Structure 1
Amino acid sequence: MKSLRPWFEAWQFAAEAQQVIALRMMQFWRNDPSAGREATRMVTEKMAAAAEAHAAAASALMIGQSATTALRRAAIPYRRRVRANRRRLS
């Protein structure tokens, strides 16, 4: 039987991402003074995470690792940021 761990981790990541979205939306709806900074941070973080993910996947593929490994490595920057944002915004 295959492990359910990857499914659980995907579910956990999706739940954390939804929580971050909800927390940010509440900030925007309340007209919080820091909402503008948060919006800027959100965009710059996404760009940085995308660059890191691309580099991680490319590096894995260049050294001969599987596409599955490359995808796992590409997800790490996103997971790290989502988790940090959830903690910071909660």
Structure 2
Amino acid sequence: MIALRLTALAGGGPVAQSEGERMVSEKIDAAAEALGTLMAGGSPDAVIARYREHVRANAERLSAHEIE
């Protein structure tokens, strides 16, 4: 996963810009979602399970498209 993202960033240009912005916004969204889950009484296991869903989706997205 990290290697796929680093490849996108290393290419520079619009692809790198878009991927960098996406990474930052995902981190902010993930923190807010985790906090909401915990505040609503969810378990750390629930937070980790949801995080894994996001990681899996990103891996599929990044590997499905050739990085230019």
TM-score, reference length from structure 1: 0.62
Q: Which has the higher contact order (CA 8 A, sep 6+)?
A: 2
- 1:84 paired with 2:57, answer yes
Letter in 1 for 2:21: T
Matched residue of 1:33: which SS?
A: helix
For structure 2, which runs of at least 5 residues remain unmatched after alignment? Answer: 64-68
Matched residue of 2:24: which SS?
A: helix
- 1:60 paired with 2:33, answer no
Matched residue of 1:60: which SS?
A: coil
Look at both structures and tell me which one has the larger radius of gyration over its CA atoms. 1
- In 1, Cα distance between the equivalents of 2:46 and 2:35? 9
- The within-5 A match list for 1:4-23 is 20-23=1-4
- In 2, Cα distance between the equivalents of 1:32 and 1:80? 28
For structure 1, which runs of at least 5 residues remain unmatched after alignment? Answer: 1-19, 62-69
Name the count of aligned residue pairs.
Answer: 63
Q: Could you say which residue in structure 1 is the equivalent of 2:27? A: 46
Matched residue of 1:34: which SS?
A: helix
Between the aligned residues of both structures, percent identity stands at 41
- 1:35 paired with 2:16, answer yes
